[in-house]
Amino acid sequence: MNPKQLAGERAAEYVEDGMVVGLGTGSTAFFAIQKLGQRIADGLDICGIPTSQQSRIQAESENIPLTDFGRVTRIALTIDGADEFDPDFNLIKGGGGALLREKIVASLSDREIIVADESKPVAHLGAFPLPVEVIPFGWQAIQRLLADLGCHPTLRNAQDNTPFVTDNGNYIIDCDFGRIDDPPMLEAKINAICGVVECGLFIGLTDRIIIGKTDGTIEERTKEARIDE
């Protein structure tokens, strides 16, 4: 089985009747949503909050009932992916462009499970460029301010070579900082720039990481323990 599918399907096993579930975005979260659709067909009673139009469309195709923050105040469990994560469970997210909604959902969740393959664990964050969501007005000035923090920033483009636009109507600047030694401090500095909406550093939001492996095994990490199966 695909390692991403292994991780996504295992995470879906943590979902229980009556839960409000945050539905992540990306190639690994895809398999969790797919599995939840199968479990709903077998009688599981949940509702979901999607983190992107992409995950909304998939959830609707899987007949997963959806809700929103006008009707609920908390999420029991969110399942999402990551571009990389370090031993302290700090994450870089946003490769798929959904970082703002992903962070809102994660911050309002009682628990978050990250699903990944073996390429995502790193000793230090920074190999993957850090996505920063910014408003379109003045993005060039914001990009210069980000560069002043010590990165090489690049405006993300869509396939037609126009600026990539998020579900929220914003742009993304991908910032290559190299090794990030102090993720919380960098997050604070970036988010203090006027015009920055949010950055892809996720600090202190994850409880469990499930890693699917090419040999067919699954590794589960919590902040207290590591489990290999």
Percent of all residues in the chain with a pLDDT value above 70, rounded to a whole number: 97
Are residues 138 and 94 located together in one domain of the fold?
A: no
Closest by alpha carbon to 104, among 187, 12, 23, 188? Answer: 23
Q: Do 73 and 94 belong to one domain? A: yes
Say whether both 153 and 195 belong to one domain: yes
Torsion of CA 120, 123, 129, 132, to 10 degrees: 90
Q: Are residues 26 and 135 in the same domain?
A: no
Q: pLDDT for 98-111, tens place per residue?
A: 999 999 999 999 99
Structure tokens at 178: 């190299």
- More confident of the two residues 133 and 224: 133
Flag whether pLDDT at 229 surpasses 80. no
Question: What domain range includes position 46?
Answer: 3-122+203-228
| pLDDT of the residue at 1 | 79
Same domain, 207 and 167: no
User: Which one of the listed residues 62, 84, 102, 112 is annotated catalytic?
Assistant: 102
Task: With beta carbons less than 8 A apart as the criterion, state whether 146 and 195 touch.
Answer: no
Asked if residue 23 and residue 107 are part of one domain, the reply reads yes
d(CA 37, CA 40): 5
Whether 97 and 70 map to the same domain: the answer is: yes
Residues 163-196: pLDDT tens digits? 999 999 999 999 999 999 999 999 999 999 999 9
Looking at the structure of the chain, the number of domains it has is: 2
The reply to whether 84 belongs to the active site is no
Distances (CA, A) of 35 to 12, 172, 174, 213: 6, 30, 32, 18
Q: What is the mean pLDDT of residues 19-23?
A: 99
Check whether residue 18 and residue 91 sit in a common domain: yes
Whether 93 and 17 map to the same domain: the answer is yes
> Do residues 86 and 34 share a domain?
yes
Alpha-carbon distances of 204 from 89, 112, 148, 189, rounded to whole Å: 7, 10, 26, 17
CA distance 130 to 46: 33
- Note whether 46 and 118 are same-domain residues: yes
CATH of the domain at 172: 3.30.70.260
CATH of the domain at 40: 3.40.50.1360
Q: State pTM to two decimals.
A: 0.95
Rg (CA), the chain: 17
Q: Are residues 83 and 140 in the same domain?
A: no
